[in-house]
Chains A and B, each alone.
Chain A
């Protein structure tokens, strides 16, 4: 029996190597990203920079929504309301020349507050009823915003001045880009941390099987409400940045179809990946930008694309390596993947870990012919 290594030890050593290489790869990726952000304004014209401003704001918004869909399994169709109230809050105080961090903080607080109230109203509902109710509440907020003259009615609030802070000139496109990139990075870091925290893992457990999670003593409704409020924070911050960047907010930013946009983004990129919504947001923003130039109806093509992704690539664009991989390297099994918005489906498991038994075996889904 000499010459045999103990399997457990070798696996542990390999595991150590993997963690180390993963950490260094993450660090390398972050450095590349930081350098890209720094040189970006020097590579692009002002118009293109504005496009990228909106793209990274969409990245933040979609990532916040993915805390609900991808991590906690909460199908909300009303996130545009929290994005919108955050934008309106910043638009109102920007007129009084609030310093930018204070204004954005207000946007976060307002977004979170409205989201928290919504989570109280929807406390007892789940699934489809929850989705419909969030849509209705968001739409009620939209109607309210239209009615309030103080918020400019249908016209909204135009002419929002650029952020003011430390006397920096944020009318300069490059400075505005750094401003947006900084706050988006802060937001993404927070959501990254949440996903990896015990809280995030508990949300994961709730998504996989809410009943079992509640048996384990988790207060499922409270956790869901907290996740919903945190997603509202992210939406509020993204909305506030949008107000500064776009310099106009209008009720149409709260309309229910706007709630669907981040969901399309995270589907496009891949719901089970942290960077899925980010990739999807950039893809969709770019697509809308260019489709608008060549066709009168981008909706048609977006719909076709969404359908194609749902049916053909249900784990999003980022899953392409795992889908293609087994064809290239034979003998390797494909890690069990999670279907898009597989809110009732199994979680994505790392290779080498036994997949959990199919959770949430609903009578309704199990019975499907």
Chain B
């Protein structure tokens, strides 16, 4: 039971990061290495807003939103200054452009916050564990899972049920045609990127109290998110949710039953899925297959 709870919590955290990544990839066709950088910025901004104070849960939720929004603003600025120039370039060049941004973000964090780890306290109402059945589950995990569920539902509603979602789907399908039909592609890109970075910031702000923050989390956390995007299928949010939960559960089970294998759960999952479905769980062949 405790294993399942840990697995779902970890999975939800990865999902928050991966959903933004897959959104940007699916719509803008940019593999955004800097996503991990924004995750880290979100964690540090939340830390900066709180400065070690312990606050009640409703303030903490406001803080999460503020930190994510601030991260999204940084992201929007980067989109305007940098990414808009990258769309024209070949995919691999834009990949390196985002890698450069990752280096800049990580370097900036090193300059501002230093290399020493800092810790973010949990909100006052969520410090202890509650018992679910026969297991003690940290209360903070419930907040993480709730945030993941709200995000998953919110994204589905946004994409399937709103005008913006329709524009976004159209641009993802065929940006040229969507532009001809009068959709402002640049604006959709800007909004998508800001949304994706908001999710990265949210993931970082939520993950803050669960880890010791160093600028290096920018490069470590992104790998799991990438794996989840590959396994779930490029551009598929539902796929990344399934893949993230599968990864979280697999890691939790292996950690309790076969600890030496736990670090490989990422690669076991990838190998297992990609052998059967090279395009990922819910992906189309559009982005992965073919010769060219």
Residues of A within 8 A of B (CB): 69, 75, 124-129, 131-133, 135-137, 139-140, 143-144, 146-147, 209-211, 214, 220, 256-257, 260, 263-264, 267, 295-304, 306-307, 310-311, 314, 339-345, 360, 362, 364-369
B95 near A303 with CB under 8 A, answer no
CB distance from B100 to the nearest CB of A (A): 4
Q: A143-B263, A341-B90 are in contact. List 12 more A-B contacts (CB 8 A).
A: A136-B270, A139-B266, A139-B267, A147-B260, A299-B103, A300-B106, A300-B110, A306-B99, A307-B104, A342-B93, A344-B90, A369-B175
Contact A129:B287 (CB < 8 A) given known A135-B226, A344-B90, A368-B175: yes
For residue A293, give the distance in angstroms from its CB to the closest CB of chain B.
Answer: 16
Interface majority SS (helix, strand, loop, mixed), chain B: helix
Asked if A136 and B230 sit within 8 Å, CB to CB, the answer is yes
B199 to chain A minimum Cβ distance, whole angstroms, is 19
- Given the known interface contacts A128-B91, A131-B92, A132-B31, the answer about A301 and B107 at a Cβ–Cβ threshold of 8 Å is yes
- Distance of A263 Cα from B115 Cα, bound (Å): 26
> Nearest 4 A-B pairs (CB), nearest first?
A300-B107, A303-B103, A299-B107, A303-B104
Would you call the interface of chain A mostly helix, strand, loop, or mixed? Answer: helix
Across the interface, do B107 and A303 meet the contact criterion of CB distance under 8 Å? yes
* Chain B residue nearest to A209 in the complex (CB): B292
Count the B residues whose beta carbon is within 8 Å of the partner chain — how many? 55
By a beta-carbon cutoff of 8 Å, the part of chain B in contact with chain A is 29, 31, 82, 85, 87-93, 95-97, 99-108, 110-111, 114-115, 174-176, 179, 185-186, 219, 223, 226-227, 229-230, 234, 260, 263-264, 266-267, 270, 274, 278, 287-292
- 8 Å CB contact of A256 from B87, B104, B219: B219
User: In the complex the two chains form, what is the Cα distance from A303 to B107 in whole Å?
Assistant: 8
Residues B267 and A143 in contact, CB atoms below 8 Å apart = yes
- Specify the chain B residue showing the minimal Cβ separation from A75: B92
Question: In the complex, are the beta carbons of A299 and B106 less than 8 A apart?
Answer: yes
Q: Which residues of B contact A298 (CB under 8 A)?
A: 107
Which residue in chain A gives the minimum CB-CB distance to B30? A128
Q: If the complex has contacts A127-B91, A210-B292, are A299 and B230 also in contact, measured as CB distance less than 8 A? A: no
CB distance from B102 to the nearest CB of A (A): 7
User: Nearest A residue to B89 by beta-carbon distance?
Assistant: A339
Give the docked Cα–Cα distance between A137 and B223 (Å). 11
Partner of B110, one of A299, A306, A339: A299
Are A214's CB and B291's CB within 8 A? yes
Determine whether the beta carbon of A369 is less than 8 Å from that of B179: yes
- What residues on A are CB-neighbors of B102 within 8 Å? 303
B92 touching A126, Cβ below 8 Å? no
The answer to whether A369 and B111 touch across the interface, beta carbons within 8 angstroms, is no
Q: In the complex where A307-B82, A341-B90 touch, is A147 in contact with B263 (Cβ < 8 A)?
A: yes
Least distance between B34 CB and chain A CB atoms (Å): 9
Asked whether, in the complex, the Cβ of B267 is within 8 Å of the Cβ of A136, the reply is: yes
Please, how many angstroms separate the alpha-carbon atoms of A193 and B268 in the complex?
A: 39
